[in-house]
């Protein structure tokens, strides 16, 4: 039963009569990208709701936040370590954004 004692099938029928449709989306992971980082929702339950031609999504699941790496930090590591953008980004992820540590890490990898 739904909150308020309403049967879910009756609720869907009423929503359809009002022109509102809902559909389960079989997602495995949802990522919301922001300037400060990414919100990762794992094992999500995603429902797409269409009303008056507009789609909206209701998402629930296990949420974690990953801080983003700034483009200027990547460029600085690239310049100092003489590496590619991908290598700089990976080193910054490994060092949790510590620029100096990323440069040292790349220097050590270059010696191997």
> CA 69, CA 94: separation in Å to the nearest integer?
11
What's the average model confidence in pLDDT over 39-44?
Answer: 96
Question: Comparing C-alpha atoms, which of 23, 21, 27, 24 is closest to residue 54?
Answer: 21
**At 12, which helix (H) or strand (E)?**
helix 8-17
Is the pTM value of this prediction over 0.75? no
pLDDT digit string (tens) for 7-38? 888 888 898 899 999 999 999 999 999 888 89
> CA 45, CA 105: separation in Å to the nearest integer?
39
Question: What is the pLDDT, as a whole number, of residue 1?
Answer: 45
> CA 35, CA 33: separation in Å to the nearest integer?
7
Q: Which domains does the chain have, with CATH numbers?
A: 3-67 (2.20.70.30), 71-111 (1.10.8)
Question: What is the pLDDT, as a whole number, of residue 9?
Answer: 86
């Amino acid at each position: 039963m739904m909150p308020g004692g309403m049967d879910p099938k009756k609720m869907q029928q009423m929503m359809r009569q009002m022109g509102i449709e809902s559909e389960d989306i079989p997602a495995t992971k949802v990522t919301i990208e922001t300037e400060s980082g990414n919100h990762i929702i794992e094992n999500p339950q995603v429902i797409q709701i269409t009303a008056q031609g507009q789609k909206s999504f209701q998402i629930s699941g296990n949420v974690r936040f990953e801080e983003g790496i700034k483009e200027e930090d990547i460029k600085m590591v690239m310049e100092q370590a003489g590496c590619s953008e991908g290598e700089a980004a990976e080193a910054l992820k490994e060092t949790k954004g510590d620029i100096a540590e990323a440069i040292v890490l790349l220097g050590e990898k270059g010696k191997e």
